[in-house]
A and B are shown apart, each in its own frame.
Chain A
Amino acid sequence: MDDERSDEALLTAHLAGEPLAFDEIVRRHRDRLWVYALRIVRDHHDASDVVQEALLSAFRHAPRWRGEASVSTWLRRIVHHAALDRLRRRRHRAAVPLTESVDVPLRRDPILDRERALAVEDALGRLPLPQRAAVVLVDMEGMAVAEAAAVLGVKEGTVKSRAARGRYRLALLLGHLRPDGTGRGPIGNDPGPGDVQAPGGHVRSPAGGER
């Protein structure tokens, strides 16, 4: 039977000593947390490790939760930091995209959803980490800017800036935007296969720097 209590009620119950209240929180959030971790660390095994480390940390440090953020936001923040730690430990792998100088549009086939999904995930992986995190939270998880700011520990304006720059860069990578800054047609009119234009040199792109 599903436990209908809110996350906050469950965490309070956990703190009061109810044995399995935290497990219910884990059941509710684990899959979404794993997807978020995956999109940050870009590795299935690391994502699983990150989620496990983060949830154990949350379990141990639950008394520190003061209710200033929702349990969902609190967990996401812990996963985010665990993911950053994982990336720091993974120094031999690039934490920043290799394609910094040129946003090369990815080939994509609008007919096949799977390829579309892969193109999106591939393009996401080429974003600088702060932009990627902002885009994932706001545009993929539908999180409000204020909540995303709480997860990332930055100001709301920073989230907006990072998300906007990330979207611009993704528009180039996904082929929605030509390197000269012009679009490819009206919304909903997908480019045909092979319609991706190789960059013709200088790519205009909003700067990736943090605000």
Chain B
Amino acid sequence: MNERAPRGGGPPGDAETDAALRHGEGEAPRPGEEELFAALDRTRADLAAAPRPAAPEGLAAALEAALAAERSASGPPPGRPVPTRPGRPRPPSRPPSLPPSRPPGRRQGTRRRLLAGGLVAVAVAAVVAGVVGVAGVGSGQGAGPRPPAPTAAPAPPGPDDPLVLSTRDLPQALRSGLGAREAGPGSDPAGRAGCLAAHGLPAGTVPAGTRAVVLDGRPGTLHVLTTGRAAVFRLLVVGPACAPGSPDTLADVEVGG
């Protein structure tokens, strides 16, 4: 541990240290220590009152997806002791590193994975692992789990291009939609909130990703929404007329699980 004494500080066990320790024990100040104790009280009050920084919006979805990927990689939950192989290592299951989406100016050269990147990686893992099921009002209604049709896979668009896809291929849009935050009709917070409200979503809902799409030839906006269930995401595609009272739904499916 890199703890070093300040060069200007006194040695351990000096009067201030002793007083601070007694303060921490809840003792009353000795004569002459009143101001010090008051200062320490105020410091503790500041610490207790300091607001907790807000966790990033994408943290919950990233963790859900990471756990889903972990489950896919390692099979069923561990179960209580496996006596014969207590130290058996599990197969590596960390999501692969992904291209960073860090804003310009952040330091480079580190191998940190960003949340958005992690989301895409684990979503890919979930989809590839064949855990995609489709339920909802899209064309896959009642179809149950099925593999994506390779021949119908949309061509990978550039990061700023609308994602061109058909309703049939919508589940595959999860990987492109997660973490996306692009300019477009879905990026305006007020407009987005009104549109999502038209779909019965509570105020303040923030999608895990928003991306412009062309679905079956119709322009729209894909919102990737968390569902509160692990590795299950709702893919909501709305048309340009989506607004309060006008859902303009192009597709609405759940994937994963």
- Show the binding face of A for B, using Cβ within 8 Å: 14-23, 26-27, 30-32, 34-35, 38, 44-46, 48-49, 51-52, 55-56, 59-60, 62-63, 90, 95-96, 100-103, 113, 116-117, 119-121, 128-131, 135, 139-140, 142, 160-161, 163-165, 167-171, 174, 176-177, 181-188, 202-211
Contacts and interface: CB of A to CB of B under 8 A. Distances in A.
Contacts of A117: 50-51
A208 B9 contact: yes
25 contacts: A16-B80, A19-B71, A26-B64, A35-B55, A48-B62, A96-B3, A121-B53, A130-B3, A131-B3, A135-B47, A161-B17, A167-B23, A167-B47, A168-B16, A168-B17, A174-B46, A181-B16, A204-B9, A205-B8, A205-B10, A207-B10, A207-B11, A209-B3, A209-B5, A209-B12
Contacts of A165: 17, 20
Contact of B3 (A49, A182, A210): A210
A52 B62 contact: yes
B152 interface: no
A50 to B, nearest CB: 10
B102 interface: yes
Q: Which 5 A-B pairs have the closest CB atoms?
A: A183-B35, A206-B17, A164-B20, A207-B5, A205-B9
A56 B94 contact: yes
Contact of A26 (B48, B63, B74): B63
B20 A177 contact: no
A21 B110 CA distance: 34
Interface stretch (B112-120, B185-193, B213-221): B112-120
Interface string B82-94: 1000100010011
B77 interface: yes
Contacts of A208: 3-6, 9
B47 A63 contact: no
B141 interface: no
A34 B54 CA distance: 9
B146 interface: no
Q: Which of A171, A182, A203 has the most CB of B within 10 A?
A: A171
A contact face: mostly helix, strand, loop, or mixed: helix
Contacts of B42: 171, 174, 176, 187-188
B47 A120 contact: yes
A158 B38 CA distance: 23
B38 A55 contact: no
Contacts of B11: 207
B1 A210 contact: yes
A142 to B, nearest CB: 8
Nearest to B76: A17
Contact of A202 (B3, B8, B62): B8
Kindly state the interface size class of chain B when it binds its partner: 35 or more
Nearest to B122: A52
Nearest to B86: A63
B161 interface: no
A168 B20 contact: yes
Contact of A140 (B17, B48, B55): B48
Contacts of B70: 56, 59-60
A45 B40 CA distance: 32
B16 A205 contact: yes
Interface in B95-123: 102, 106, 110, 112-115, 118
B78 A62 contact: yes
B110 to A, nearest CB: 8
B128 interface: no
A59 B67 contact: yes
A45 B112 contact: yes
A51 B55 CA distance: 11
Contact of A22 (B4, B35, B67): B67
Contacts of B5: 207-209
Contacts of A49: 112-113
B40 A171 contact: yes
Interface string B141-157: 00000000000000000
Contacts of A35: 52-53, 55
Given A63-B81, A168-B17, A206-B9, 8 more contacts: A32-B52, A55-B67, A60-B74, A128-B3, A129-B1, A164-B21, A203-B9, A207-B5
